Amino acid sequence: MTRLLCYMPTPGGLTGAPRRLLTLCQVLKHEGIDVCIASEPGSDLLAAAEAQGVETICLKLLEILRLRHGALFGGSLFFKLRAALALIMQNLAFARLIRKSDADVVWLRGSKGIAFAVLGAWLARRPVVWDVDGSWHSRGVIKRIYGLGLQISRVVVHQYESAGEQIFGQKAAEKFNYKSYTLVPGIELNRLESLKKRKRGQDGNQNPEQPFQILEVGSICERKNQRLMIEAIAELKRIGVNRRILFQVAGGVFEEDYAKRLIEDIKKTGLQENVEPLGWRDDIHSLMSKADLLVLPSLDEGVPNAVQEAMYIGLPVMVSNAGGMPEIVEHGKTGWVLSVDDSRLWAQQIADCIRNEEKCRSVGETASMYADKHFSTDVWGKRYAEVVRQAAGQL
């Protein structure tokens, strides 16, 4: 049996990426892959994995490597030397962990997985499956990290067809195309079935006196682009949409400065009664079942869990044209795909949803049928297991 060690160094809460890893581990176990997750001691990810019967192992991250927003690669020459030494030490610790776990294959995610662990996997002489996910675009130090990941990894997994070119650039994507695979992630449809039925029961009973509820899921940060929605809601008032709007933002603060600017925008536009910051929530699916529209105006994305789950539930989705979202949402049929830099266009499309609720519901129903057909974990799990076995040299 192939043994796979999955490493996620800084999982944070149980947001999209950790939840997706947990789902992946379950489907790989079903396909006969022996899975172990390595992460920070005491993390929510390890606790959830243990609750699901997935083997876990702890690997503490050196303090300097916890820095966010590219700060790890900035600063003085002395700081850069400290950071480089910490990366070497972290990789050596990971190499020892690999040998201890007796893994046949190593799974890494994103740029951090490569920076913190790919040399360790190389030193331990274990093949690497690199799940690129929604990684940063290739430039500066990140470009060098990606180059290392592309060279060492035996298999590179993308969530959508154009990911390689978008993230690595055309030249690198073509060079390493022979080891690249596109696997659109699956979601646990059975877990959402009851909410799907609840959503259908509510859709025909909207009260025009109630607010039109718009939900955005994701950390408060520039990448998630919540400020565009404030501009769009302010525009809705200017063009004479009388229905009250309630914009719910579910997600913790990831960038303090961006959160402050967001609050300033809300006050400046007088939308305090229209915006409800919910903070970190573990009842996202319940929020989806009560909402009228899910929005995700992100500047950069892979294939977000929230969009896939909303589509299956039957909640209409309005997304930006970033990353893999245009590959799973068909504009005007299973949702709406809009430019990330035109808040007026977003306002006009939201206004159309409010004025044509039957059409909006129909789009949600069509999306639900599409999700039922394309987002199952069965196909995803089988194909991913084949990729892992190929990396292990068993195919």
**96 and 21 part of one domain:** yes
Q: What is the pLDDT of residue 78?
A: 85
Q: Does residue 72 register a pLDDT over 60?
A: yes
Nearest alpha-carbon partner for 273 in 251, 248, 256 = 248
* % of the chain residues with pLDDT over 90: 78
* Alpha-carbon gap, residue 359 to 371, rounded angstroms: 18
178, 88: one domain: yes
Distance from C-alpha of 183 to C-alpha of 77, rounded to nearest angstrom: 40
The answer to whether residues 147 and 285 belong to one domain is no
Residue located via tokens 């609050």? 263
- Type of residue numbered 116: F
End-to-end CA distance of the chain: 13
Q: What is the pLDDT of residues 106-149, one digit of tens each?
A: 999 988 899 999 999 999 999 999 999 765 665 667 888 999 99
CATH of the domain at 129: 3.40.50.2000
Are 230 and 318 members of one domain? yes
List of residues 6+ apart from 240 with CB closer than 8 A? none
HSE-CB for 43 with a 13 A CA cutoff: 25
Is residue 147 domain-shared with residue 203, that is, in the same domain? no
> 182 and 245 share a domain?
no
Window from 13-27, 86-100, 231-245, 357-371 with minimum mean pLDDT: 13-27
Residue 133 confidence (pLDDT): 77
CA 145 to CA 236: how far, in whole Å? 43
Q: How much is the pTM?
A: 0.88
Give the range of the structural domain holding residue 7, as residue numbers without chain letter: 3-186+376-391
